[in-house]
């Protein structure tokens, strides 16, 4: 399965950005976490990674994924999660199974209630939040399971 790991604004320096909230590991650790979690099944997934700080750039990349027949999307939309009807509209029509991910548990950040709302969540098959980089690996594993079940 081809799975796109898509990161939105301020996620280009994960590992360096506020490590007390987002952890000190970089995105380059995700493939190793996927292997650790999935063992030999990790061979069934081809991951591609893309990050952009721009909302339009995320939509362009999602459209490209649709054009290229990508099977699943792991999506951390960063702060656009909480604001972007445009991203929600895009996910609504491309209908590629998408898992929303967050490094932090956005619902536990009660000092910032705006973060507890997601525009894209209702367009996703599920959400993984709060496990740092492991959130991404758990999302890949969940997509693999979903896509495998669909095939049979």
Q: Quick one: DSSP state of residue 60?
A: H
Neighbours of 85 (CB within 10 A): 10
Taking a C-beta distance cutoff of 8 angstroms, is the pair 77, 58 a contact?
Answer: yes
Does the active-site annotation cover 13?
no
Taking a C-beta distance cutoff of 8 angstroms, is the pair 31, 140 a contact?
Answer: no
Q: Which of 3, 5, 30, 115 binds ligand DQA (CB under 6 A)?
A: 115
Nearest alpha carbon to residue 136 among 92, 100, 90: 100
Q: Per CB under 6 A, which region of 32-40, 51-59, 63-71, 74-82 contacts ligand DQA? A: 74-82
Give least dist CB 9 to ligand DQA, A: 7
- In the stretch 18-57, what mask flags binding to ligand DQA with x, by CB under 6 A? ----------------------------------------
Does the active-site annotation cover 22?
yes
């Amino acid at each position: 399965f081809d799975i796109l790991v898509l990161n939105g604004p301020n996620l280009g320096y994960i590992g360096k950005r506020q490590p007390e909230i987002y952890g000190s590991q970089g995105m380059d650790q995700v493939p190793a976490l996927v292997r650790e979690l999935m063992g030999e099944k990790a061979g069934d997934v081809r991951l591609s990674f893309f990050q952009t700080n721009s909302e339009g750039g995320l939509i362009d990349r999602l459209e490209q994924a649709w054009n290229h027949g990508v099977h699943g999307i792991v999506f951390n939309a960063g702060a656009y999660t909480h604001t972007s009807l445009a991203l929600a509209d895009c996910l609504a029509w491309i209908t590629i199974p998408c898992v929303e991910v967050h490094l932090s548990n956005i619902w536990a950040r009660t000092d910032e209630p705006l973060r507890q709302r997601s525009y894209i969540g209702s367009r996703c098959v599920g959400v993984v939040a709060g496990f740092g980089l492991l959130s991404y690996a758990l999302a890949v594993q969940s997509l693999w399971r979903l896509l495998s079940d669909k095939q049979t």
